[in-house]
Chain A
Amino acid sequence: MDVNEVLLPGVGLRYEFTTQAGERIGVVAQRTGDFEVVGYLADDRDEGRPLFRLNEEEAEALAQILGAPRIAERFADLTREVPGLSSEPVKVAPGSPYADRPLGHTRARTCTGASVVAIVRGADVIASPGPEQVLRAADVLVVVGTREGIDGVKRILRG
Protein backbone atom coordinates (compact mmCIF):
# COMPACT_ATOMS: atom_id res chain seq x y z
CA MET A 1 0.00 0.00 0.00
CA ASP A 2 1.35 3.40 -0.95
CA VAL A 3 0.86 6.20 1.54
CA ASN A 4 1.30 9.57 -0.09
CA GLU A 5 2.63 12.31 2.19
CA VAL A 6 1.82 15.94 1.43
CA LEU A 7 3.32 18.87 3.31
CA LEU A 8 0.84 21.49 4.48
CA PRO A 9 3.08 24.43 5.38
CA GLY A 10 2.16 25.96 8.71
CA VAL A 11 -0.53 23.38 9.35
CA GLY A 12 1.01 19.94 9.35
CA LEU A 13 1.01 16.92 7.08
CA ARG A 14 -1.55 15.09 5.02
CA TYR A 15 -1.38 11.36 4.40
CA GLU A 16 -3.37 9.87 1.56
CA PHE A 17 -3.92 6.29 0.50
CA THR A 18 -6.33 4.17 -1.47
CA THR A 19 -7.87 1.20 0.26
CA GLN A 20 -8.08 -2.18 -1.37
CA ALA A 21 -11.79 -1.56 -1.86
CA GLY A 22 -10.84 1.49 -3.94
CA GLU A 23 -11.76 4.20 -1.48
CA ARG A 24 -9.38 7.11 -1.19
CA ILE A 25 -8.74 8.30 2.36
CA GLY A 26 -6.91 11.39 3.57
CA VAL A 27 -5.65 12.02 7.10
CA VAL A 28 -4.59 15.56 8.01
CA ALA A 29 -2.23 15.51 10.98
CA GLN A 30 -2.20 19.03 12.35
CA ARG A 31 0.63 20.52 14.37
CA THR A 32 -1.80 21.13 17.18
CA GLY A 33 -2.13 17.35 17.57
CA ASP A 34 -5.60 17.26 16.05
CA PHE A 35 -6.49 14.99 13.16
CA GLU A 36 -8.98 15.40 10.37
CA VAL A 37 -10.02 12.38 8.36
CA VAL A 38 -11.51 12.94 4.92
CA GLY A 39 -12.72 10.76 2.10
CA TYR A 40 -12.38 11.54 -1.59
CA LEU A 41 -15.13 10.72 -4.00
CA ALA A 42 -14.27 9.12 -7.29
CA ASP A 43 -15.65 11.98 -9.36
CA ASP A 44 -13.77 14.79 -7.59
CA ARG A 45 -10.31 13.97 -6.40
CA ASP A 46 -9.61 17.58 -5.39
CA GLU A 47 -12.18 17.91 -2.68
CA GLY A 48 -12.05 15.94 0.52
CA ARG A 49 -15.32 15.23 2.29
CA PRO A 50 -14.86 15.65 6.01
CA LEU A 51 -15.56 12.35 7.75
CA PHE A 52 -14.52 13.04 11.32
CA ARG A 53 -12.23 15.07 13.53
CA LEU A 54 -10.13 13.67 16.36
CA ASN A 55 -8.19 15.32 19.13
CA GLU A 56 -4.88 13.89 20.28
CA GLU A 57 -6.43 11.54 22.82
CA GLU A 58 -9.12 10.23 20.47
CA ALA A 59 -6.60 9.66 17.71
CA GLU A 60 -4.42 7.72 20.14
CA ALA A 61 -7.37 5.55 21.15
CA LEU A 62 -8.30 4.90 17.52
CA ALA A 63 -4.72 4.05 16.64
CA GLN A 64 -4.58 1.52 19.46
CA ILE A 65 -7.82 -0.10 18.41
CA LEU A 66 -6.69 -0.35 14.81
CA GLY A 67 -3.02 -0.97 15.44
CA ALA A 68 -2.80 -3.36 18.39
CA PRO A 69 -2.53 -6.57 16.34
CA ARG A 70 0.19 -5.01 14.24
CA ILE A 71 2.33 -3.57 16.99
CA ALA A 72 4.89 -6.37 16.88
CA GLU A 73 5.49 -5.75 13.18
CA ARG A 74 5.82 -2.04 13.76
CA PHE A 75 8.57 -2.55 16.31
CA ALA A 76 10.33 -4.61 13.70
CA ASP A 77 10.07 -1.71 11.24
CA LEU A 78 11.54 0.70 13.78
CA THR A 79 14.62 -1.31 14.61
CA ARG A 80 15.36 -1.99 10.96
CA GLU A 81 16.73 1.55 10.82
CA VAL A 82 19.36 1.00 13.52
CA PRO A 83 22.28 -1.08 12.23
CA GLY A 84 23.22 -4.01 14.46
CA LEU A 85 19.96 -3.86 16.35
CA SER A 86 17.02 -6.00 15.44
CA SER A 87 13.65 -6.83 16.80
CA GLU A 88 11.45 -9.82 16.46
CA PRO A 89 8.17 -11.08 17.80
CA VAL A 90 8.79 -14.26 19.83
CA LYS A 91 5.82 -16.37 20.71
CA VAL A 92 5.39 -18.16 24.03
CA ALA A 93 4.48 -21.66 22.91
CA PRO A 94 1.79 -23.49 24.95
CA GLY A 95 4.36 -26.02 26.12
CA SER A 96 6.94 -23.42 27.13
CA PRO A 97 8.35 -23.88 30.65
CA TYR A 98 7.84 -20.14 31.25
CA ALA A 99 4.10 -20.04 30.48
CA ASP A 100 2.34 -18.77 33.64
CA ARG A 101 5.68 -17.78 35.20
CA PRO A 102 7.02 -14.25 35.70
CA LEU A 103 9.13 -12.74 32.94
CA GLY A 104 12.03 -12.27 35.39
CA HIS A 105 12.37 -16.05 35.77
CA THR A 106 13.51 -16.39 32.18
CA ARG A 107 16.60 -14.27 33.03
CA ALA A 108 16.45 -13.43 29.32
CA ARG A 109 18.25 -10.09 29.54
CA THR A 110 20.98 -11.33 31.87
CA CYS A 111 21.73 -14.35 29.70
CA THR A 112 21.34 -12.85 26.21
CA GLY A 113 21.53 -9.06 26.50
CA ALA A 114 18.26 -8.75 24.56
CA SER A 115 15.28 -6.93 26.08
CA VAL A 116 11.61 -7.72 26.05
CA VAL A 117 10.14 -4.27 25.30
CA ALA A 118 6.50 -5.27 25.03
CA ILE A 119 4.13 -8.16 25.42
CA VAL A 120 1.27 -8.45 22.95
CA ARG A 121 -1.61 -10.42 24.44
CA GLY A 122 -4.54 -10.65 22.06
CA ALA A 123 -5.63 -7.07 21.42
CA ASP A 124 -3.73 -5.72 24.47
CA VAL A 125 -0.21 -4.45 24.56
CA ILE A 126 1.80 -4.44 27.76
CA ALA A 127 4.53 -1.89 27.12
CA SER A 128 7.88 -2.17 28.98
CA PRO A 129 6.87 -5.16 31.11
CA GLY A 130 8.59 -5.54 34.49
CA PRO A 131 10.25 -8.77 35.69
CA GLU A 132 7.17 -9.59 37.79
CA GLN A 133 4.92 -9.64 34.69
CA VAL A 134 3.50 -13.16 34.34
CA LEU A 135 3.76 -14.66 30.86
CA ARG A 136 0.88 -16.57 29.33
CA ALA A 137 0.83 -19.17 26.62
CA ALA A 138 0.31 -17.55 23.18
CA ASP A 139 1.75 -14.21 24.35
CA VAL A 140 3.95 -12.56 21.79
CA LEU A 141 7.07 -10.94 23.23
CA VAL A 142 8.60 -8.07 21.29
CA VAL A 143 12.32 -8.64 21.72
CA VAL A 144 14.94 -6.04 20.84
CA GLY A 145 18.63 -6.85 20.72
CA THR A 146 21.34 -8.37 18.58
CA ARG A 147 20.53 -11.25 16.23
CA GLU A 148 22.24 -13.76 18.59
CA GLY A 149 20.53 -12.27 21.63
CA ILE A 150 17.08 -12.71 20.11
CA ASP A 151 17.88 -16.30 19.11
CA GLY A 152 18.99 -16.87 22.72
CA VAL A 153 15.63 -15.62 24.01
CA LYS A 154 13.84 -17.97 21.62
CA ARG A 155 15.89 -20.92 22.92
CA ILE A 156 15.18 -20.01 26.58
CA LEU A 157 11.44 -19.78 25.97
CA ARG A 158 11.42 -23.07 24.14
CA GLY A 159 13.01 -24.63 27.23
Chain B
Amino acid sequence: MHVSVALLLELGLILAVLGIVGSLARRVALSPIPLYLLAGLSLGEGGVLPIPAAGQFVQIGASIGIVLLLLALGLEFSLAEFTASMRHHLPSAGVDLLVNAVPGAVAGRLLGLDGVGVLALAGVTYISSSGIIARLLSDLRRLGNRETPSVLSVLVLEDFAMAAYLPVLAVLAAGRAWWQAIVGALVAVGAVLAAFALAARWGHHLGRIVAHPDNEQLMLRMLGLTMIVAALAEYVHASAAVGAFLVGLTLTGRTADRARAVIAPLRDLFAAVFFIAIGLSVAPVMLVPVLPAALALAAVTALTKMFTGRYAASRDGVGRRGRARAGAALIARGEFSIVIVGLAGARLPVLAPLVTAYVFALAVVGPLIARFTAARPRTRPFDQPHGT
Protein backbone atom coordinates (compact mmCIF):
# COMPACT_ATOMS: atom_id res chain seq x y z
CA MET B 1 0.00 0.00 0.00
CA HIS B 2 1.22 3.44 -0.88
CA VAL B 3 1.50 5.73 2.11
CA SER B 4 1.23 9.40 1.23
CA VAL B 5 3.93 11.20 3.16
CA ALA B 6 2.51 14.60 2.21
CA LEU B 7 -1.00 13.72 3.41
CA LEU B 8 0.17 12.38 6.76
CA LEU B 9 2.50 15.29 7.32
CA GLU B 10 -0.02 17.99 6.42
CA LEU B 11 -2.78 16.35 8.40
CA GLY B 12 -0.49 15.82 11.35
CA LEU B 13 0.59 19.44 11.31
CA ILE B 14 -2.99 20.67 11.10
CA LEU B 15 -4.12 18.49 14.00
CA ALA B 16 -1.09 19.38 16.11
CA VAL B 17 -1.72 23.10 15.56
CA LEU B 18 -5.41 22.64 16.38
CA GLY B 19 -4.43 20.78 19.54
CA ILE B 20 -2.16 23.58 20.69
CA VAL B 21 -4.50 26.48 19.93
CA GLY B 22 -7.45 24.47 21.24
CA SER B 23 -5.81 23.93 24.60
CA LEU B 24 -4.97 27.61 24.79
CA ALA B 25 -8.61 28.43 24.11
CA ARG B 26 -9.77 25.96 26.74
CA ARG B 27 -7.47 27.51 29.30
CA VAL B 28 -9.31 30.82 29.03
CA ALA B 29 -12.68 29.01 28.79
CA LEU B 30 -13.25 29.96 25.17
CA SER B 31 -14.71 27.81 22.44
CA PRO B 32 -12.17 26.31 20.02
CA ILE B 33 -14.59 26.76 17.09
CA PRO B 34 -13.33 30.23 16.05
CA LEU B 35 -9.79 28.92 16.11
CA TYR B 36 -10.72 26.04 13.84
CA LEU B 37 -12.29 28.55 11.44
CA LEU B 38 -9.17 30.68 11.63
CA ALA B 39 -7.01 27.64 10.92
CA GLY B 40 -9.13 26.90 7.85
CA LEU B 41 -8.85 30.50 6.69
CA SER B 42 -5.09 30.53 6.96
CA LEU B 43 -4.76 27.32 4.97
CA GLY B 44 -5.54 26.73 1.35
CA GLU B 45 -5.70 29.21 -1.50
CA GLY B 46 -4.88 32.76 -0.55
CA GLY B 47 -3.84 31.63 2.92
CA VAL B 48 -0.39 31.49 4.40
CA LEU B 49 -0.03 27.71 4.28
CA PRO B 50 -1.52 25.78 1.37
CA ILE B 51 -2.43 22.13 1.98
CA PRO B 52 -2.79 20.45 -1.41
CA ALA B 53 -2.54 16.85 -0.18
CA ALA B 54 -4.79 17.06 2.87
CA GLY B 55 -7.41 19.09 1.01
CA GLN B 56 -9.25 16.04 -0.28
CA PHE B 57 -9.35 14.43 3.13
CA VAL B 58 -10.69 17.66 4.61
CA GLN B 59 -13.47 17.74 2.01
CA ILE B 60 -14.51 14.14 2.79
CA GLY B 61 -14.02 14.61 6.51
CA ALA B 62 -16.29 17.66 6.47
CA SER B 63 -19.23 15.59 5.16
CA ILE B 64 -18.67 13.08 7.93
CA GLY B 65 -18.33 15.94 10.42
CA ILE B 66 -21.72 17.44 9.59
CA VAL B 67 -23.34 13.99 9.86
CA LEU B 68 -21.72 13.30 13.24
CA LEU B 69 -22.65 16.74 14.59
CA LEU B 70 -26.30 16.13 13.83
CA LEU B 71 -26.21 12.52 15.04
CA ALA B 72 -24.84 13.76 18.36
CA LEU B 73 -27.57 16.41 18.49
CA GLY B 74 -30.23 13.73 17.97
CA LEU B 75 -28.69 11.57 20.68
CA GLU B 76 -28.80 14.52 23.10
CA PHE B 77 -32.49 14.86 22.52
CA SER B 78 -35.07 13.35 24.79
CA LEU B 79 -38.79 13.69 24.28
CA ALA B 80 -39.35 14.22 28.00
CA GLU B 81 -37.01 17.19 28.03
CA PHE B 82 -38.58 18.57 24.91
CA THR B 83 -42.14 18.40 26.23
CA ALA B 84 -41.08 19.84 29.60
CA SER B 85 -39.31 22.73 27.86
CA MET B 86 -42.29 23.20 25.60
CA ARG B 87 -44.67 23.49 28.56
CA HIS B 88 -42.73 26.19 30.37
CA HIS B 89 -40.96 27.95 27.57
CA LEU B 90 -43.09 28.05 24.44
CA PRO B 91 -43.41 31.86 24.72
CA SER B 92 -39.64 32.12 25.23
CA ALA B 93 -39.12 30.07 22.06
CA GLY B 94 -41.46 32.41 20.18
CA VAL B 95 -39.60 35.50 21.40
CA ASP B 96 -36.30 33.79 20.59
CA LEU B 97 -37.37 33.04 17.02
CA LEU B 98 -38.85 36.47 16.39
CA VAL B 99 -36.16 38.74 17.76
CA ASN B 100 -33.19 36.71 16.53
CA ALA B 101 -34.28 35.45 13.12
CA VAL B 102 -35.68 38.80 11.96
CA PRO B 103 -32.37 40.72 12.16
CA GLY B 104 -30.73 38.01 10.04
CA ALA B 105 -33.53 38.10 7.50
CA VAL B 106 -33.42 41.91 7.30
CA ALA B 107 -29.66 41.85 6.90
CA GLY B 108 -30.03 39.28 4.13
CA ARG B 109 -32.49 41.55 2.33
CA LEU B 110 -30.23 44.59 2.75
CA LEU B 111 -27.27 42.63 1.38
CA GLY B 112 -29.33 41.71 -1.65
CA LEU B 113 -29.46 37.96 -1.02
CA ASP B 114 -32.20 35.89 -2.65
CA GLY B 115 -34.95 34.09 -0.70
CA VAL B 116 -32.73 31.13 0.20
CA GLY B 117 -30.00 33.48 1.40
CA VAL B 118 -32.46 35.43 3.54
CA LEU B 119 -33.78 32.21 5.07
CA ALA B 120 -30.26 30.92 5.66
CA LEU B 121 -29.07 34.10 7.34
CA ALA B 122 -32.19 34.19 9.52
CA GLY B 123 -31.30 30.69 10.68
CA VAL B 124 -27.68 31.67 11.30
CA THR B 125 -28.63 34.52 13.65
CA TYR B 126 -31.43 32.50 15.32
CA ILE B 127 -29.59 29.39 16.39
CA SER B 128 -27.42 29.60 19.48
CA SER B 129 -24.61 27.14 19.93
CA SER B 130 -25.85 24.52 22.38
CA GLY B 131 -22.38 22.97 22.33
CA ILE B 132 -20.58 26.14 23.38
CA ILE B 133 -23.25 27.23 25.85
CA ALA B 134 -23.69 23.93 27.70
CA ARG B 135 -19.94 23.71 28.09
CA LEU B 136 -19.74 27.35 29.15
CA LEU B 137 -22.32 26.92 31.90
CA SER B 138 -20.44 23.91 33.18
CA ASP B 139 -17.06 25.70 33.04
CA LEU B 140 -18.41 28.76 34.81
CA ARG B 141 -20.05 26.39 37.30
CA ARG B 142 -23.48 27.83 36.77
CA LEU B 143 -25.34 24.54 36.38
CA GLY B 144 -26.74 25.00 39.86
CA ASN B 145 -28.09 28.46 39.14
CA ARG B 146 -31.77 29.14 38.87
CA GLU B 147 -31.58 30.70 35.42
CA THR B 148 -29.85 27.66 33.92
CA PRO B 149 -32.98 25.56 33.20
CA SER B 150 -34.47 28.49 31.24
CA VAL B 151 -31.30 28.80 29.15
CA LEU B 152 -31.18 25.07 28.45
CA SER B 153 -34.89 24.96 27.60
CA VAL B 154 -34.44 27.68 25.00
CA LEU B 155 -31.59 25.66 23.50
CA VAL B 156 -33.63 22.47 23.34
CA LEU B 157 -36.48 24.23 21.57
CA GLU B 158 -34.04 25.80 19.12
CA ASP B 159 -32.60 22.41 18.34
CA PHE B 160 -36.07 21.10 17.64
CA ALA B 161 -36.79 24.05 15.37
CA MET B 162 -33.59 23.19 13.50
CA ALA B 163 -34.92 19.72 12.79
CA ALA B 164 -37.76 21.29 10.82
CA TYR B 165 -35.70 24.14 9.39
CA LEU B 166 -32.69 22.30 7.99
CA PRO B 167 -34.59 20.07 5.56
CA VAL B 168 -36.56 23.06 4.24
CA LEU B 169 -33.36 24.96 3.69
CA ALA B 170 -31.68 21.93 2.13
CA VAL B 171 -34.50 21.46 -0.37
CA LEU B 172 -34.66 25.17 -1.24
CA ALA B 173 -30.88 25.42 -1.53
CA ALA B 174 -30.92 22.50 -3.98
CA GLY B 175 -32.71 24.94 -6.29
CA ARG B 176 -36.06 23.25 -6.23
CA ALA B 177 -39.44 24.88 -6.55
CA TRP B 178 -41.24 26.23 -3.50
CA TRP B 179 -43.85 23.48 -3.59
CA GLN B 180 -41.12 20.86 -3.56
CA ALA B 181 -39.68 22.62 -0.56
CA ILE B 182 -43.05 22.43 1.19
CA VAL B 183 -43.34 18.74 0.38
CA GLY B 184 -39.77 18.25 1.54
CA ALA B 185 -40.51 20.11 4.75
CA LEU B 186 -43.64 18.07 5.40
CA VAL B 187 -41.74 14.86 4.75
CA ALA B 188 -39.00 16.02 7.09
CA VAL B 189 -41.33 17.06 9.91
CA GLY B 190 -43.27 13.82 9.40
CA ALA B 191 -40.01 11.90 9.61
CA VAL B 192 -39.10 13.66 12.86
CA LEU B 193 -42.50 12.83 14.35
CA ALA B 194 -42.22 9.25 13.08
CA ALA B 195 -38.78 9.00 14.64
CA PHE B 196 -40.23 10.16 17.95
CA ALA B 197 -43.08 7.67 17.75
CA LEU B 198 -40.61 4.96 16.81
CA ALA B 199 -38.38 5.84 19.73
CA ALA B 200 -41.29 5.89 22.16
CA ARG B 201 -42.78 2.56 21.06
CA TRP B 202 -39.98 0.49 19.64
CA GLY B 203 -36.91 2.37 20.80
CA HIS B 204 -35.64 -0.61 22.75
CA HIS B 205 -35.97 -2.91 19.71
CA LEU B 206 -34.17 -0.41 17.55
CA GLY B 207 -31.59 -0.01 20.26
CA ARG B 208 -30.99 -3.76 20.10
CA ILE B 209 -29.94 -3.53 16.46
CA VAL B 210 -27.01 -1.29 17.31
CA ALA B 211 -26.53 -2.06 21.00
CA HIS B 212 -23.68 -4.38 21.80
CA PRO B 213 -21.72 -4.73 25.02
CA ASP B 214 -18.54 -4.17 23.07
CA ASN B 215 -17.83 -0.48 22.38
CA GLU B 216 -16.17 -1.21 19.06
CA GLN B 217 -19.23 -3.09 17.84
CA LEU B 218 -21.52 -0.34 19.06
CA MET B 219 -19.51 2.30 17.24
CA LEU B 220 -19.34 0.37 13.96
CA ARG B 221 -23.05 -0.41 13.96
CA MET B 222 -23.99 3.15 14.92
CA LEU B 223 -21.84 4.72 12.25
CA GLY B 224 -22.90 2.18 9.64
CA LEU B 225 -26.61 2.74 10.27
CA THR B 226 -26.21 6.51 10.48
CA MET B 227 -24.30 6.83 7.23
CA ILE B 228 -26.69 4.59 5.33
CA VAL B 229 -29.68 6.60 6.56
CA ALA B 230 -27.82 9.86 5.89
CA ALA B 231 -27.05 8.75 2.33
CA LEU B 232 -30.68 7.77 1.73
CA ALA B 233 -31.87 11.11 3.12
CA GLU B 234 -29.44 12.96 0.86
CA TYR B 235 -30.62 10.90 -2.08
CA VAL B 236 -34.22 12.05 -1.56
CA HIS B 237 -32.94 15.65 -1.10
CA ALA B 238 -33.79 15.77 2.60
CA SER B 239 -30.13 16.36 3.51
CA ALA B 240 -27.75 13.82 5.04
CA ALA B 241 -27.52 15.89 8.20
CA VAL B 242 -31.24 15.54 8.82
CA GLY B 243 -31.07 11.78 8.26
CA ALA B 244 -28.33 11.53 10.86
CA PHE B 245 -30.36 13.64 13.27
CA LEU B 246 -33.29 11.21 12.89
CA VAL B 247 -31.09 8.23 13.70
CA GLY B 248 -29.93 10.03 16.82
CA LEU B 249 -33.53 10.77 17.82
CA THR B 250 -34.67 7.16 17.60
CA LEU B 251 -31.98 5.91 19.93
CA THR B 252 -32.85 6.46 23.57
CA GLY B 253 -31.95 5.47 27.08
CA ARG B 254 -28.87 3.48 27.92
CA THR B 255 -27.92 2.88 24.27
CA ALA B 256 -28.02 6.61 23.58
CA ASP B 257 -25.86 7.30 26.65
CA ARG B 258 -23.24 4.82 25.53
CA ALA B 259 -23.45 5.91 21.90
CA ARG B 260 -22.86 9.52 22.96
CA ALA B 261 -19.75 8.53 24.83
CA VAL B 262 -18.46 6.35 21.99
CA ILE B 263 -18.89 8.85 19.17
CA ALA B 264 -17.86 11.96 21.14
CA PRO B 265 -14.15 11.81 20.18
CA LEU B 266 -14.98 10.99 16.55
CA ARG B 267 -17.44 13.86 16.41
CA ASP B 268 -14.91 16.26 17.89
CA LEU B 269 -12.32 15.24 15.30
CA PHE B 270 -14.57 15.41 12.27
CA ALA B 271 -16.41 18.51 13.47
CA ALA B 272 -13.01 20.23 13.68
CA VAL B 273 -12.34 19.10 10.11
CA PHE B 274 -15.75 20.46 9.12
CA PHE B 275 -14.96 23.87 10.62
CA ILE B 276 -11.60 23.87 8.84
CA ALA B 277 -13.35 23.05 5.57
CA ILE B 278 -15.66 26.03 6.02
CA GLY B 279 -12.66 28.22 6.73
CA LEU B 280 -10.95 26.77 3.66
CA SER B 281 -13.90 27.64 1.44
CA VAL B 282 -13.39 31.31 2.31
CA ALA B 283 -10.46 33.23 0.89
CA PRO B 284 -9.23 35.70 3.52
CA VAL B 285 -9.56 38.62 1.08
CA MET B 286 -13.31 37.90 0.83
CA LEU B 287 -13.68 38.66 4.53
CA VAL B 288 -12.76 42.32 4.28
CA PRO B 289 -15.83 43.60 2.41
CA VAL B 290 -18.30 41.64 4.60
CA LEU B 291 -16.65 42.51 7.89
CA PRO B 292 -18.69 45.65 8.73
CA ALA B 293 -21.95 43.84 7.98
CA ALA B 294 -20.91 40.80 10.01
CA LEU B 295 -19.88 42.85 13.02
CA ALA B 296 -23.00 45.01 12.92
CA LEU B 297 -25.15 41.88 12.71
CA ALA B 298 -23.19 40.33 15.59
CA ALA B 299 -23.72 43.41 17.75
CA VAL B 300 -27.45 43.55 17.05
CA THR B 301 -28.06 39.83 17.56
CA ALA B 302 -25.96 39.76 20.73
CA LEU B 303 -28.41 42.28 22.14
CA THR B 304 -31.45 40.37 20.91
CA LYS B 305 -30.16 37.15 22.49
CA MET B 306 -29.63 39.00 25.75
CA PHE B 307 -33.23 40.10 25.55
CA THR B 308 -34.33 36.49 24.84
CA GLY B 309 -32.42 35.15 27.83
CA ARG B 310 -33.75 37.85 30.14
CA TYR B 311 -37.28 37.10 29.04
CA ALA B 312 -36.94 33.32 29.42
CA ALA B 313 -35.36 33.65 32.88
CA SER B 314 -38.00 36.11 34.02
CA ARG B 315 -40.62 33.47 33.21
CA ASP B 316 -38.93 31.27 35.80
CA GLY B 317 -39.03 34.06 38.35
CA VAL B 318 -35.29 34.65 38.34
CA GLY B 319 -33.89 37.85 39.82
CA ARG B 320 -32.21 40.72 38.00
CA ARG B 321 -28.66 39.41 38.03
CA GLY B 322 -29.75 35.93 37.05
CA ARG B 323 -31.70 37.31 34.09
CA ALA B 324 -28.62 39.17 32.90
CA ARG B 325 -26.57 35.97 33.21
CA ALA B 326 -29.16 34.04 31.19
CA GLY B 327 -29.13 36.65 28.45
CA ALA B 328 -25.37 36.76 28.19
CA ALA B 329 -25.10 32.96 28.17
CA LEU B 330 -27.21 32.69 25.01
CA ILE B 331 -25.10 35.00 22.83
CA ALA B 332 -22.63 32.43 21.48
CA ARG B 333 -23.31 31.14 17.96
CA GLY B 334 -21.31 28.25 16.63
CA GLU B 335 -21.64 24.85 15.07
CA PHE B 336 -25.17 25.09 13.70
CA SER B 337 -24.72 28.49 12.11
CA ILE B 338 -21.81 26.89 10.28
CA VAL B 339 -23.91 23.82 9.44
CA ILE B 340 -26.37 26.18 7.73
CA VAL B 341 -23.56 27.56 5.58
CA GLY B 342 -22.51 23.98 4.83
CA LEU B 343 -26.00 23.37 3.44
CA ALA B 344 -26.71 26.64 1.66
CA GLY B 345 -23.33 28.28 1.19
CA ALA B 346 -22.37 26.64 -2.10
CA ARG B 347 -24.62 28.75 -4.27
CA LEU B 348 -24.29 31.97 -2.29
CA PRO B 349 -20.65 33.04 -2.34
CA VAL B 350 -21.22 35.97 0.02
CA LEU B 351 -22.78 33.80 2.74
CA ALA B 352 -19.73 31.76 3.79
CA PRO B 353 -17.41 34.71 4.51
CA LEU B 354 -20.19 36.68 6.18
CA VAL B 355 -21.20 33.83 8.49
CA THR B 356 -17.60 32.85 9.18
CA ALA B 357 -16.85 36.36 10.39
CA TYR B 358 -20.14 36.48 12.31
CA VAL B 359 -19.63 33.16 14.10
CA PHE B 360 -16.01 34.06 14.71
CA ALA B 361 -17.07 37.25 16.49
CA LEU B 362 -19.86 35.73 18.59
CA ALA B 363 -18.15 32.46 19.48
CA VAL B 364 -15.31 34.53 20.96
CA VAL B 365 -17.25 37.45 22.42
CA GLY B 366 -20.29 35.47 23.65
CA PRO B 367 -18.44 33.38 26.26
CA LEU B 368 -16.43 36.45 27.32
CA ILE B 369 -19.56 38.52 27.92
CA ALA B 370 -21.16 35.59 29.73
CA ARG B 371 -18.11 35.28 31.92
CA PHE B 372 -18.12 38.88 33.02
CA THR B 373 -21.86 39.36 33.28
CA ALA B 374 -23.14 39.42 36.84
CA ALA B 375 -20.07 37.62 38.03
CA ARG B 376 -20.01 36.82 41.69
CA PRO B 377 -18.92 39.77 43.81
CA ARG B 378 -15.54 38.84 45.27
CA THR B 379 -16.02 40.65 48.57
CA ARG B 380 -17.60 37.94 50.68
CA PRO B 381 -15.60 36.13 53.31
CA PHE B 382 -16.65 32.92 51.51
CA ASP B 383 -14.19 33.64 48.72
CA GLN B 384 -11.26 34.68 50.86
CA PRO B 385 -8.56 32.33 52.02
CA HIS B 386 -8.66 31.17 55.59
CA GLY B 387 -7.19 33.42 58.21
CA THR B 388 -7.83 36.72 56.48
Residues of A within 8 A of B (CB): 6-11, 14, 26, 28, 30-31, 36, 38, 40-41, 44-50
Contacts and interface: CB of A to CB of B under 8 A. Distances in A.
Given A44-B321, A46-B318, A7 B143 contact: no
Given A7-B84, A9-B156, A49-B382, A44 B144 contact: no
B378 interface: no
B149 A7 contact: yes
B134 A11 contact: yes
B141 interface: yes
Given A11-B134, A47-B321, A26 B85 contact: no
Given A28-B143, A30-B143, A9 B149 contact: yes
The B contact surface, by secondary structure, is helix
B321 A46 contact: yes
Counting contact residues on chain B (CB < 8 A from A), the size range is 20 to 34
Contacts of B144: 14, 26, 28, 36, 38, 40, 48, 50
Interface string B265-306: 000000000000000000000000000000000000000000
A9 B155 contact: yes
A46 B319 contact: yes
Count chain A CB atoms within 10 A of each CB in B143, B146, B148 and give the residue with the most. B143
A12 to B, nearest CB: 8
The A contact surface, by secondary structure, is strand
A47 B322 contact: yes
Contacts of A48: 141-145
A38 B376 CA distance: 14
Given A30-B143, A36-B141, A47-B145, A10 B81 contact: yes
B114 interface: no
Contacts of A30: 138, 143
A7 B81 contact: yes
Interface in B366-388: 376, 382
A36 B145 CA distance: 11
A40 to B, nearest CB: 8
Contacts of B259: none
Contacts of A6: 149
B76 interface: yes
Contacts of A14: 143-144, 148-149
A49 B140 CA distance: 11
Nearest to A12: B143
Nearest to A36: B143
